[in-house]
Amino acid sequence: MEIALNPHRLITFQRYINNLTFSSFKLPSRCAIKFPNFHFKSELGFFPRSFCCRSMVSLTEPIKVKEKIDLTEIEKKIFDRLLEVVRYYSRIDSNYKETQLRVAGGWVRDKLLGKECYDIDIALDNMLGREFCEKVNEYLSNIGEEKQGIGVIQCNPDQSKHLETARMRLYDIWIDFVNLRSEDYSDNSRIPTMKFGTAEEDAYRRDLTINSLFYNINTNSVEDFTKRGLAHLRSGKIVTPLPPKETFLDDPLRVLRAIRFGFVLKPPGFCYPVDFFLLKKKWTVSSGCCTAQCTIDLMISGNEPVKAMVYTCDLQLFWVVFSLPNQSETLMSEEYARRCVSYIDAAWRLLQVVGFSTFNDEERRLYLYGALFLPLRKSVYTDGKGKKVPIVNYIFRNSLKLKASDPDMVMKLHAASESFRSWIPFITSDKSEQFTEDSERKTFQVPDVSGQRIIAGKLLREIKSLWRVSLLISILISPTDFSRAGDFSEACAELDKSQELYKRIEHAIMELDMCI
């Protein structure tokens, strides 16, 4: 399968976004919002019952790729030390003379693109990573240096960990050691039969050709066993080393990684049909694994979170990725998934005009998760103990399983944004008004300045340093013109008004001198 890619993940597909048509539906806020009718199925080759992979049309200029890899001083020290170990034991055991040390995957890709990378994975062709690490420690002991601790991560196919991985710290850098592998998958399981493989076999089991490149430490050279990895890196293409049906059904999580990079498929031509429902079924088995969760988080934290969610929704995998409790079938519809995507789209556009520098990386991440799950903010389910639990809490704790604090923080953002929403008409008015607290539905009369301080103090105490994030989310569920009933689609179209509203309220809070 060949897909257009910008390895720097900066590519935008305005040709498709600009041609989207819109239709309205009602959101939980009771404001109408316009949401794109996704035509990616026809334009990208995705159809409800098949996953089609077509020949590629490149949308990018040729990418500058280095002819050779330039090592940093610390990388030279690490690789020289590893070669010393091989040479030392080759004098004792002839098998070590054949040992080839290769750096695999993303490190090679990034170094060829001129980017620094400290995620070094060493692939060994004739021993397990744990065995080699033990030899490294023996060598260190023999030359009078301190041994290093070895961490071993056992195989766990249910968590997408198919190889035993050993970790060791050399020159203050963590290095992973694994053996080259050859995998065979059965039709009804993601769990492969694993065996030692050659470098070429290992390369063809990788997700993409640009990730199948090796840097051979012994020969100081880049190895391209698929014969396409370097060419595709230069031309900006994603290509699966094997036919896409085999690649994606071997490990459906590779679809997530392709989405993360951002891709587009050429309309009709030659097609490899993949049974979409089989793909979805196999993915369900692995949807709770760490690899999926980390990839989703990288999508949200990346340069194109909206496109990533659009593609996920368009592949009908939104509720596979963000799984819901069994009793929530009514929410698991394409319409509800699109509602979620529409909110993160609006949030992303608003963030652009307010300014990225206003928020740090973690604040932007929580903001986008908060926006994505806004349609679910008032939805609950009954757990096994008969307790009402927010759906958002379930998604974070059972589907994403990221930071332990994530569900509480996002739910606090939702609650604070509702409070801000009630407060916005009050603070933007020049006269004293009645203020209603949504949580307790209490209405009271407050003086202008003192009342603002009371309300602001309560909000800031609840949300603390994330008050700007919750304020921005509140803009998403509030009309921008309070003098008349305006729909949310108009507010989104007039981002300058939304920005002005945000700045006005931010300034009002700053004037109260109560910021945390």
Domain ranges of the chain: 73-235, 410-511
| Phi then psi dihedrals of residue 307, to 5 deg | -60, -40
CB 297 within 8 A of CB 325: no
Residue 308 CA: distances (Å) to CA of 116, 197, 259, 384, 474: 25, 34, 6, 34, 24
- The angle subtended at Cα 349 by Cα 345 and Cα 355, nearest 5°, is 140
Per the DSSP assignment, residues forming a β-bridge with 325 are none
Element (H, E) at 337: helix 334-354
The whole-number pLDDT of residue 148 equals 92
The whole-number pLDDT of residue 100 equals 94
Alpha-carbon distance 158 to 156, whole Å?
5
Claim: this prediction has a pTM higher than 0.85: no
Q: Is 113 helix (H, G, I), strand (E, B) or coil?
A: coil
Please count the other Cβ atoms lying within 10 Å of the Cβ belonging to residue 386.
6
Q: For strand 120-124 and strand 173-179, is the pairing parallel, antiparallel, or unpaired? A: parallel
Alpha-carbon distance 232 to 115, whole Å?
17
Task: Report which residue type is found at 454.
Answer: I
pLDDT in tens, 120-170: 999 999 899 999 999 999 999 999 999 999 988 765 544 444 568 899 999
The whole-number pLDDT of residue 288 equals 52
Surface-to-core class of residue 136, CB atoms within 10 Å of its CB (0-12 exposed, 13-18 middle, 19+ buried): buried
Alpha-carbon distance 35 to 23, whole Å?
6
Q: Which CATH class is domain 73-235?
A: alpha beta
pLDDT in tens, 352-404: 888 888 899 999 999 999 999 999 999 998 888 889 999 999 999 888 888 88
251: Cβ contacts below 8 Å, ≥ 6 apart: 160, 190, 207, 286
The whole-number pLDDT of residue 508 equals 76
Alpha-carbon distance 141 to 108, whole Å?
31
Mean pLDDT, consecutive 10-residue stretches, the chain (516 aa), reads: 36 32 32 35 29 37 86 97 94 84 94 92 92 95 93 61 81 94 60 76 90 96 96 86 76 77 41 49 56 84 90 83 79 85 92 88 95 92 88 90 90 89 68 48 49 66 84 79 45 69 81 61
Residue 63 CA: distances (Å) to CA of 66, 240, 354: 10, 19, 32
Alpha-carbon distance 130 to 126, whole Å?
12
Q: Is 434 helix (H, G, I), strand (E, B) or coil?
A: strand
Task: Write b or e for each residue in 44-77: b if 16 or more Cβ atoms lie within 10 A of its Cβ, otherwise e.
Answer: bbbeeebbbbbebebbeeebebeeebebeeebee
The whole-number pLDDT of residue 414 equals 93
Q: Chain-centre distance of CA 137, in angstroms? A: 36
231: Cβ contacts below 8 Å, ≥ 6 apart: none
The whole-number pLDDT of residue 284 equals 57
Please count the other Cβ atoms lying within 10 Å of the Cβ belonging to residue 325.
16
The whole-number pLDDT of residue 61 equals 61
Tokens at 313, concatenated: 């929704």
CB 389 within 8 A of CB 397: no
